[in-house]
Amino acid sequence: MKLQILGCYAATPRTLTNPTSQVLEIRNHLFLIDCGEGTQVQLRKNKIRFSRINHIFISHLHGDHFFGLPGLISTFRLLGRDKELNVYGPKGIKEAITLLMKLGDSWTNYQLVFHELKEKRPVLIYEDDKVTVETIPLDHRVYTNGFLFREKPSDRKLNVEAVGKYNIDKAYFRNIKSGNDVILDDGTLVPNEVLTFDPVAPKSYAYCSDTAYRPELVPQITGVDVLYHESTFLETEAHLSGKTKHATAKEAAAIAKAANVGTLILGHYSTRYKSIDLFKEEATEIFPEVELADDGKVFNL
Amino acid sequence: MKLQILGCYAATPRTLTNPTSQVLEIRNHLFLIDCGEGTQVQLRKNKIRFSRINHIFISHLHGDHFFGLPGLISTFRLLGRDKELNVYGPKGIKEAITLLMKLGDSWTNYQLVFHELKEKRPVLIYEDDKVTVETIPLDHRVYTNGFLFREKPSDRKLNVEAVGKYNIDKAYFRNIKSGNDVILDDGTLVPNEVLTFDPVAPKSYAYCSDTAYRPELVPQITGVDVLYHESTFLETEAHLSGKTKHATAKEAAAIAKAANVGTLILGHYSTRYKSIDLFKEEATEIFPEVELADDGKVFNL
């Protein structure tokens, strides 16, 4: 699992800071999460192949999470894309994109599928044999979802030596990797744990931006390996966080601690602060495993 | 008159090239012309004060001329703008921007005035005591206008020595600068040309992008000081220009020659070519006074 930050600053794109967008590589998928203005250029700068993006998740319809999407959809068209593109986002996203395509008489020549969200409880929005994605309802000024990405458990790993020792035919390997025992020709049962090793534990990633402090989300994200939680402000600006429905670094850390996550990644920083290190300092007082997102940064998880 | 190119490349924003946007400084106005994705960052990079922009002219509703506008309008709001902002563009632009503001529940706290265009003939869309702006109907895949910016003639310049010699009272100066003669107390008429010098000649700038070769626009732009004309292609790709309704460098030069303009500035280059110098080479075979737009370039006209 690999997370590549394209942009992680609040409000407006600036010369050296980009609004929110990130790419999660998970079991060979490349999921694009949010798409602020300039995301397509950030994709190029970070050498991400456009053709590998088939699913885009939009948390909410504020410009700094969404205004790069019309251009990206348009660029996919100009690049001759033919693969289906799936967009998951709040109700209204289809109307907006469709209107822009209509006004420019620029319809995509690939299938563009919108999955509009309006539920206020967690919903499974994507599933295949390798991963699931569900919404994490957040508390912001407009309807907003985070997203919880979970790998499904992998097959168990074959113990080649043990399988050879019992002279088991290849035809059974798939069955063994799925966790089944084997009964030999002489009737002996060989338990699965003798024939396999544990697989790599499935990883999970919770993306929570934008949101006010929201302890209600703790049960859903408890135990995730990595939590990205917005920290627009420091505690010194706590009076702004309530009004704007954003969180402080301290609040993000409190969520991480209560949910017992592996690592907390902070982001969505207001640009009013001199250094983003201040966010880490504040958060580590509550929760030790803190990382700072930054534009262009890659986390190998 | 000063023209600052923020972006002048066709189709999609890239790491080193920006879609169309430019700023025309004319008689203390700062007019923003087109607004591709990333324009607000280009404004910052080029150190243009956001608060000086009160009029934005959008030629057409293709993404590379327009997808930066929602973000710019949103950023104006976040920066606490209170001055009115005027947007001139094709019918539909108001609906698009309004829908995006509605979906984000992000209404501007300043007056946002849309001037929607649908006429297919030249229309005067802006006028004050210093400048006029009229549309230049172009020929593109969707409804498109160029814009013709003209300074109004300045007052004549007072010949301080001559005025002193005739002992003329200050109270008459305004009248003299407007071009009137003076009758002295003894009844002598002093003709205006004795009392004044010619003012600086008013300048004019025609912006024509995007468009197929369109000789019909020559009468309207004849004699302008500066013509910006798109040249998406070279003649080697002339077969594409008809289909996509774009012009070649040669065609842009033919328009410049027929309209007897002062200087032709080329732009809106396809990124397929190795060097934009090729556009200049092709155009100068037809018309000598050719300049190349490039991102960040400033023309002091």
Structure tokens at B281: 């080479």
pLDDT of residue B167: 92
Residue among B45, B75, B105 whose CB faces A142 most closely: B105
DSSP readout, A8-25? -BSSS--SS---SEEEEE
Residues of B whose CB is below 8 A from A90: 103
Give the model's pLDDT for residue B275.
97
CB of A7 less than 8 A from some CB of B:
no
What is the structure's pLDDT at B171? 92
CA B85 – CA B73 distance, rounded (Å): 9
Q: Do residue A14 and residue B103 have CB atoms under 8 angstroms apart?
A: no
Nearest to B245, CA basis, from B266, B230, B260? B230
Nearest to A95 among B41, B99, B105 (CB): B99
Mutate to test the interface with A, among B37, B69, B72, B246 (most CBs of A within 10 A): B37
The pLDDT, as a whole number, for residue A4 is 98
According to DSSP, the β-strands at B131-137 and B145-151 are antiparallel
| Yes or no: domain A2-154+200-300 corresponds to CATH 2.60.450.10 | no
DSSP-assigned letters across all residues of A17-48: ---SEEEEEETTEEEEE---TTHHHHHHHTT-
User: What does the pLDDT read at residue B68?
Assistant: 98
Tell me the chain A residues in contact with residue B295 when contact means C-beta distances shorter than 8 Å.
none
Average pLDDT for B242-261: 97
CA distance B14 to chain A (A): 5
Per-residue pLDDT of B166-175, as tens digits, reads: 999 999 999 9
The confidence score (pLDDT) of residue B93 equals 98
Low-confidence ranges of chain A (pLDDT < 70): none
Note the pLDDT of residue A74. 98
How far is residue B94's CA from residue B89's CA, in Å, rounded to a whole number?
A: 9
Q: For residue B117, report the phi and psi dihedrals to the nearest 5 degrees.
A: -110, 140
Mean pLDDT of B25-44: 97
- Which member of A11, A41, A63 has the closest CB to residue B13? A41
Residues contacting residue A14 through CB under 8 Å, at least 6 positions apart: A271, B41, B44
Instruction: Please report the pLDDT score of residue A263 as a whole number.
Output: 98
Nearest to B70 among A13, A60, A67 (CB): A67
Which structure tokens are listed for A71?
């251009």
Interface of A with B in 93-112 (CB under 8 A): 93, 95-96, 99-100, 103-106
Q: pLDDT by residue (tens digit) across A169-226?
A: 999 999 999 999 999 999 999 999 999 999 989 999 999 999 999 999 999 999 999 9
Q: Does A246 touch chain B (CB under 8 A)?
A: no
Contact list in A for residue B104 (CB cut-off 8 A) is 60-63, 66, 142
Q: Taking CA atoms, what residue in A is nearest to B47?
A: A15
Q: How far is CA B287 from CA B208, B237, B251, B290, in A?
A: 17, 20, 10, 7
How far apart are alpha carbons A71 and B101 in whole angstroms? 17
For an interface test with B, give the residue of A9, A16, A34, A37 to mutate (most B CBs within 10 A): A37
Three-class DSSP category at B197: strand
Q: Do B71 and A37 touch (CB under 8 A)?
A: yes
* CA–CA separation, B60 and B210 (whole Å): 8
Token pair listed for B256 = 């410049």
Question: What is the helix (H) or strand (E) element at residue B204, kind and residue range?
Answer: strand B204-208
Local structure of residue B156 (DSSP, 8 states): P
* CA-to-CA separations, A253 to A31, A277, B145, in angstroms, rounded: 25, 14, 53
Chain A CB within 8 Å of residue B47 CB: no
Using a CB–CB cutoff of 8 Å, tell me whether A61 touches chain B: yes
How many Å lie between the alpha carbon of B27 and the closest alpha carbon of chain A?
A: 28
Contact yes or no for B190/B236 (Cβ under 8 A): no
Residue B298 confidence (pLDDT) = 98
- CA distance to A8, A42, B184, per residue, from A295 (Å): 6, 9, 74
Which residue in this structure is represented by tokens 């001055």?
A: B83
B60 is in an annotated binding site: yes
Tell whether residue B140 is among the known ligand binding residues: yes
B221-241 tens-digit pLDDT: 999 999 999 999 999 999 999
**Interface contact A13, partner B, CB < 8 A:** yes
- Averaged pLDDT for residues B182-203: 94
Are the beta carbons of B15 and A70 separated by less than 8 Å? no
pLDDT given for residue B205 in this prediction: 98
The pair of structure tokens assigned to B44 is 């910052």
Give the span between the Cα atoms of B16 and A176, in whole angstroms.
53
pLDDT given at position A235: 97
Q: Calculate ∠ Cα B6-B227-B271, nearest 5°.
A: 45
Picking from A75, A90, A106, the nearest residue to B12 by CB comes out as A75
Q: Do A62 and B11 touch (CB under 8 A)?
A: no
Q: Is A191 exposed, middle or buried (0-12, 13-18, 19+ CB in 10 A)?
A: exposed
**Would you kindly state where each structural domain of chain A is located, as residue ranges?**
2-154+200-300, 157-197
- Is A67 close to B62, i.e. CB distance below 8 A? no
Q: Do A74 and B14 touch (CB under 8 A)?
A: no
B239 annotated as a binding-site residue:
no
A173's CB contacts (< 8 A; 6+ apart) are A158, A163
The C-alpha atoms of residue B172 and residue B185 are separated, in whole angstroms, by 13
d(CA A299, CA A2): 6
Tell me the chain A residues in contact with residue B66 when contact means C-beta distances shorter than 8 Å.
104
Q: Express each pLDDT in B269-296 by its tens digit.
A: 999 999 999 999 999 999 999 999 999 9
Partner-chain contact B96 A92, CB within 8 Å:
no
Report d(CA B23, CA B72) in Å as an integer.
14
Whether B82 is catalytic is no
Which residue of chain A comes nearest to B105, CA vs CA?
A142
Interchain CB contact of B37 with A (< 8 Å)? yes
**Mean pLDDT value of segment B88-109:** 97
Contact B12 A71 (CB under 8 A): yes
Of B38, B100, B141, the CB nearest to A105: B141
Residue A7 distance to chain B (closest CA, Å): 14
Tokens representing A255? Answer: 């969520």
Query: Catalytic: which of A34, A64, A185, A198?
Result: A64
Q: What is the reported pLDDT for B28?
A: 93
pLDDT at B293: 98
Contact assignment for A104 to B70 by CB distance below 8 Å: no
CA distance A67 to chain B (A): 7
Q: Is the Cβ–Cβ distance between B146 and B226 less than 8 Å?
A: no
